[in-house]
Structure 1
Amino acid sequence: MKAYFRTEASNAVGMGHLMRCMALAQILSDQYIKCSFIVPPESIPFCLGRHDWDFSLIPLQEELPTIDEYRWFSENIDLTSDDILVLDSYKFTGQYISSMAQLPASLVLFDDCNDRDKLEVDVVINSAGGADSLGYEVTAPDAHYCLGEQYRLLRREFLTELPQPLPDRNSLTIVMGGTDPQGLSLRILQELSQQEFYGPVRLVTTSNNPQLEEIKLFTTNTLLSVQLVIDCQDLATIFSHSRLTLSAAGSSQFELLAMHCPTVLLVVADNQFNAAQASENQGWCRVFDVRETKNMVNVVSGLTQLWQNESKLQSMMKAAQQHADTKGNERILDTIARLDSERLDGR
């Protein structure tokens, strides 16, 4: 068996798709399955910028329309019925997925909202709470389902790092994704300064953030105590020492949960809403929906109130401990292994 990942990362779409594919690739590699990533040329620097990158890279033809990808795969990738092809991008329509289903490999899809009509895939992965109520039995009736929080993928670093007790945590951590496509990091720092936040702040971002120079300039001219962490390669350690974290509500929320982090999640895209609401219902985080407005006044006010409320942070951390589940990797691996068994059985 070989595994191929068709995904993307860019300043516009961020790194969320790439990172969850990378988590799956790590666990498949641990089973001696060769993993290759098929990405647009613009995504390659985002892959190679990772210190823990250990996978083959196959660049797509420059500016290849998705409608032509089936032909490109047929001509350039030696897929067999033993292989799996993992798809993760919001640009992949139901029509695109149906065309890729004609390839001989088993098809695995990362999904968030079940809003693409018919899904001709072998496995659907949606780790959001409540994913099993989104109707995949209608859109993907023949698929295996990895739905809900018991199927949350974690990268290796989050399986080996030990969460610290609250008294040993001392920073407000801000992480708005690998590229911060909404440009929220600088807005948050400015509002923290305006409201005279007094605690130590740690901003995690990357060299691909288009506002990085403005952020650097701001941090040198503010009274905030700000540590700027660029291209972080040990995010688990950062999270395990975070007293309170402000994060975009992408897949990093599952990593925050694994590190028992009291968290404020910002919903910045439609696909994030369901998972964020499910997480808030568990009691370990608070959610702000900023899809319509980028005003950070209420967000920072809420942060400050939580920062000062030791008992609330303790209760949020306790809720995170109760709901953290680090066995999702194993469950997804078992599901993929069943595909191989079914193929050998002739089903």
Structure 2
Amino acid sequence: MIATNGYAVDSPEDRFHPFRFERREPAANDVAIAILYCGVCHSDLHTARGEWGGTRYPCVPGHEIVGEVTAVGESVTRFAPGELVGVGCMVDSCQRCGACAEGLEQYCENGMTGTYNGPTQDTGDNTYGGYSDRIVVREEFVCKVRHDREQLAAVGPLLCAGITTWSPLRHWNVGPGKKVGVAGIGGLGHMGIKLARALGAHVVAFTTSPGKKDDALALGAHEVVVSREKGEMKAHASSFDLILNTVAAPHNLDSYLALLKRDGAMVMVGVPAEPHPSPAVVHLIMKRRTLAGSLIGGIPETQEMLDFCAEHGIVADIEMIAMRDIDAAYDRMLKSDVKYRFVIDMATIAEG
């Protein structure tokens, strides 16, 4: 077994504390990774604090992992020690259902295995995530990282925030000639803006805060709309091919649905703790509009996204923190006090 240092919580009210545990030795198809950086996702907070239910304690969150391969199993062919790699939101799936066969492991019909808060496919044990210095993952769920080493910390959030926005952009064929809206300028939204712009779309950012206009333009938006201003919203009526809704708080969906053109779609990727108010059906049926959802992305999509970002020089906007500061980072996340993703420098994990 591999001795591993991590940070865990033992209950919804607990603060993080050092947690020592063991990872398995690499099996034939496993890749052992020394974690260099791990992004901090709002999902980590929801899970650690038991807000979505089903949290298994002790909980070691973290699914935006970038690291270096230290060892591989005898059957591994795609990776070698010393290579830079990434691990996202999944570490396993059944590998035999229709979804897995299509490279859509996130929709595994038998349940994918999350990078943290398990259960594992074999024993049902709890999985521990990237708030730790080591991880062992089967080869099929490891991605190559082709960014320069000095960009690695900012690559971490691509493994969740990046793929969560990339997957619907690709599924709904975003590219030149398409008008795309991105609602919410946070961890997910800022990546949605960058990726939609790089794909060639005309990008409009939506925010409730006039003070975020300059930030959204700097990220790559062509236009910015303050969603509380009815006149600004009305000016874009029936004009969007796609709206990527990243907002993780309940809000009125009808005001956005009215902005879609015929056959347009609004895709929900933010998950609020409470339900959204129910939208009016008339906005959907009058122009054959679609209200849809999307969950992260499959491993082939994730590798495609990482390669695209490396080619186009795209990374997340981050603030680096030490492992000991994770509770303070959670408190700041609740206040939206980060631009736009915290990333833990795992070299600090031994500092306590």
Structure with the higher fraction of residues in strand conformation: 2
Structure with the higher fraction of residues in helix conformation: 1
Scaled by the length of structure 1, the TM-score of the pair is: 0.29
Scaled by the length of structure 2, the TM-score of the pair is: 0.29
